[in-house]
């Protein structure tokens, strides 16, 4: 696959040169896929930039945008398909062979994203393309047209964010790492499929951009402040809405309540701490918002089906 940045040939291994010198990538390659996890600070010197690529084989590209903003298209103004990804969103794209695809970035914003390139045969093996919900995507793949799973990018939920971290910071030994990451990629694809299916068939009313942004702000608060004693009213006031609207719209976007979402964030963070840090159970409980270790232990077992003391064992 040939790749250029603003006309200059580059590599996605390590640090990209030219306008992308500030953009650092972690890369992992296997037989059926390759993963790129990238972060970059905001830049005044390079407000925008693009990567143009043209591959000899078709591929599936999963993009999870935690921070920043990007778009994918053919670079032609009259192109029928341009895929936009704002912060805290994801999508899945089919990129045909021998067609130049341009990815444009807004470097006035800090960037954080995970990109997974998957061979088409492997994608067909694991993704439920035969389901009628994905007929449009399947048809465009068969016609070798640039296409996306969703016409409007979908919001990242706690399960997906957890998977992004697991893929990007995998510390498994080399003999098991490819299979582990592949399993996480399959799980990520299936979550994407389920979310697209729900958004298509549940017929939820579409939120305005400002309403959606407020819901994303609440989601970010829950991730940034899991130990705080949040209420619907306090969260609503922080983002400029009321508690009834927040309750309704949050469930429209994420398919769950604010506090079920918060519990999921807390439990996943607690499990991560238990696996990676030598903290006492009481300390972990406090870090994720529980005053009493017994309450935390009960919530953890209810969520995962086993005790927090069993994680390290």
What is the per-residue pLDDT across 61-106, written as a single tens digit (0 to 9) for each? 999 999 898 999 886 655 567 889 988 899 999 999 988 888 888 8
At 77 the pLDDT is: 53
Q: Which of 201, 226, 245 is the last residue in one of the domains?
A: 201
- Is a pLDDT exceeding 80 seen at residue 27? yes
CATH number of the domain within which 226 lies: 1.10.10.60
Q: Quick one: 123 and 227 in the same domain?
A: no
Decide if 206 is inside a domain: no
Q: What is the rounded average pLDDT of the residues 290-296?
A: 94
Q: What is the pLDDT of residue 18?
A: 47
Could you tell me the CATH number of the domain that includes residue 105? Answer: 2.60.120.10
Domain that holds residue 149: 2-201
For residue 228 the two structure tokens come to 């705080």
Q: Which of 181, 201, 221 is the last residue of a domain?
A: 201
Same domain, 105 and 170: yes
Is residue 192 located within the same domain as residue 238? no
- DSSP assignment of 86-127 equals -TTEEEEEEE-TT--EEEEEETTS-EEEEEEEEEHHHHHHHS
Give a yes or no: residue 147 inside a domain. yes
Q: Are residues 118 and 228 in the same domain?
A: no
Q: Say yes or no: 186 and 222 in one domain.
A: no
**94 CB-near residues (< 8 Å, 6+ apart):** 58, 59, 60, 61, 120, 137, 140, 141, 145, 146, 147, 148
Residues 78 and 158 reside in one and the same domain:
yes
Bridge partners of 48, per DSSP, are: 106
| 230: phi then psi, degrees, rounded to nearest 5 | -75, 150
Count how many domains the chain has: 2
203-228 pLDDT, tens per residue? Answer: 556 788 889 889 989 998 999 999 99
* End-to-end Cα distance, the chain: 44
- pLDDT reading at 288 higher than 50: yes
Q: Tens digit of pLDDT for each residue in 44-62?
A: 777 777 777 788 899 999 9
In this structure, the answer to whether residues 177 and 225 fall within a common structural domain is no
- pLDDT of 15 reads 37
Identify the pLDDT of residue 290: 95
Predicted local confidence at residue 20, as pLDDT: 54
Domain co-membership, 253 together with 159: no
> Same structural domain for residues 161 and 220?
no
Q: Of 201, 235, 255, which closes a domain?
A: 201
Residues 131-165 pLDDT 10s: 988 999 999 999 999 999 998 888 898 889 989 98
CB-neighbour burial class of residue 187 (10 A; exposed 0-12, middle 13-18, buried 19+) = middle
Among 152, 176, 72, 65, which residue's Cα sits nearest to residue 110?
A: 65
The answer on pLDDT for 7 being more than 70 is no
For 116-120, what is the mean pLDDT? 95
Residues 262 and 126 placed together within one structural domain of the fold: no
Mean pLDDT score of the chain, rounded to an integer? 86
- Statement to judge: residues 57 and 187 lie in one domain: yes
Quick one: tokens of 252? 């429209």
pTM: 0.77
């Amino acid at each position: 696959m040939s790749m250029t940045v603003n006309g200059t040939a580059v590599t996605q291994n390590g640090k990209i040169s030219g306008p992308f010198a500030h953009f650092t990538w972690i890369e992992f390659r296997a037989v059926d896929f390759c993963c790129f996890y990238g972060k970059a600070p905001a830049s005044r010197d390079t407000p925008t930039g693009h990567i143009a690529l043209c591959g000899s084989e078709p591929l599936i590209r999963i993009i999870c945008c935690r921070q920043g903003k990007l778009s994918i298209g053919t670079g032609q103004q009259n192109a029928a398909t341009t895929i936009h990804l704002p912060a805290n969103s994801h999508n899945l794209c089919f990129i045909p062979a021998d067609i130049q695809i341009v990815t444009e970035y807004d470097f006035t914003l800090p960037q954080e994203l995970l990109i997974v390139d998957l061979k088409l045969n492997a994608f067909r093996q694991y993704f439920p393309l035969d389901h009628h919900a994905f007929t449009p995507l399947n048809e465009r793949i068969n016609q070798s047209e640039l296409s996306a799973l969703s016409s409007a990018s979908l919001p990242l939920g706690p399960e997906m964010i957890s998977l992004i971290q697991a893929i990007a910071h995998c510390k498994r030994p080399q003999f098991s790492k490819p299979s582990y990451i592949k399993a996480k990629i399959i799980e990520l694809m299936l979550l994407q499929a389920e979310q697209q299916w729900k958004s298509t068939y549940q017929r939820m009313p579409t939120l305005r951009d400002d309403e959606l942004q407020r819901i994303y702000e609440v989601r970010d608060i829950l991730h940034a402040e899991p130990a705080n004693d949040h209420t619907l009213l306090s969260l609503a006031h922080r983002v400029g809405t009321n508690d009834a609207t927040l309750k309704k719209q949050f469930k429209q976007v994420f398919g769950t309540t604010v506090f079920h979402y918060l519990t999921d964030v807390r439990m996943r963070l607690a499990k991560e701490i238990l696996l990676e840090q030598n903290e006492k159970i009481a300390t972990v409980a406090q870090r994720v918002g529980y005053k009493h270790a017994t309450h935390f232990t009960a919530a953890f077992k209810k969520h995962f089906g086993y005790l927090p003391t069993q994680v390290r064992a």
